[in-house]
Amino acid sequence: MTRYKIIIEYDGTDFVGWQRQDNGFSVQQAIEEAITGFSGERVALYGAGRTDSGVHALGQVAHFDLERDTDANTVINALNFHLRPAAITILSAVAVDDAFDARLSAKGRAYVYRITNRRAPLALGRGQSWWVPVPLDVAAMHEAAQVLIGKHDFTTFRASYCQAGSALKTLDELSVTQTGDLIEVRARARSFLHHQVRNFVGTLKLVGEGKWTAEDVRRALEKKDRAAGGPTAPAEGLYMVEVVY
């Protein structure tokens, strides 16, 4: 029995999310079926984190155990063959110690949220970023984002149905940058609450529009009430970009 760690890139547009669900096809299901397709084994795939329907990944990490005697290169090639035409690619595979766990061994996770900030709608890249046609003040958004860095009770920015035992998290980075029409919000922490990054972005958009200030964001955080925060940004702009071990 060999445990493999794989790094995965996917377009979440046509999936119900990472986790297997009864209401549609998931990324987890697609990869598990691909593993069965080349090995004949039914295996469980464990991811570093769940992503919602429409959320993408550039560096999702997962692990699975395989009885078949093979090697990492074969795993990559065989999985990519059996995954076609799904919008999922296995970027790398490596045999790891049995103690490795894609979720529990992770020391940090990074997400990027992409906003296309221009008047004209998207002809290309639809479903890949949030189109916001009104001008946004990126400097003000970045300044307000710094209020959220550190260890806080993030109840204001968690989904009402979040299953995490505690809303207390430590946010290591929340930055807002712009290149041309593309605005990127980068978030880094050991772990995140459900919808936390998307709720950050929805709130920071209010700042960018001039409707909120950094002080408004601070007050919202201190209220520890989801109703005090901004709206949830659409799933299509969110990317899981890195898992650190």
The full DSSP string for 100-141 is: --TTTT--EEEEEEEEEESSSPPSSSTTSSEEE-S---HHHH
Q: Which of 96, 130, 148 is the last residue of a domain?
A: 96
Return d(Cα 161, Cα 154) in angstroms, integer.
Answer: 14
Which one-letter DSSP state was computed for residue 231? P
Domain CATH code at residue 171: 3.30.70.660
Question: What tokens appear for 166 in the block?
Answer: 């505690």
Domain CATH code at residue 60: 3.30.70.580
> For the segment 147-169, what is each residue's pLDDT rounded down to a tens digit?
999 999 999 999 988 989 999 99
Statement to judge: residues 142 and 162 lie in one domain: yes
Find the domain containing 36 and state its range: 2-96
In this prediction, residue 18 carries a pLDDT of 97
> For the segment 108-142, what is each residue's pLDDT rounded down to a tens digit?
999 999 999 999 999 999 999 999 999 999 999 99
The average confidence (pLDDT) of the chain is 97
Indicate which residues carry an active-site annotation. Answer: 52
Return d(Cα 66, Cα 63) in angstroms, integer.
Answer: 10
* Average pLDDT, integer, range 212-218: 98
Statement to judge: residues 69 and 119 lie in one domain: no
Statement to judge: residues 131 and 186 lie in one domain: yes
In this prediction, residue 146 carries a pLDDT of 98
Statement to judge: residues 114 and 227 lie in one domain: yes
In this prediction, residue 76 carries a pLDDT of 98
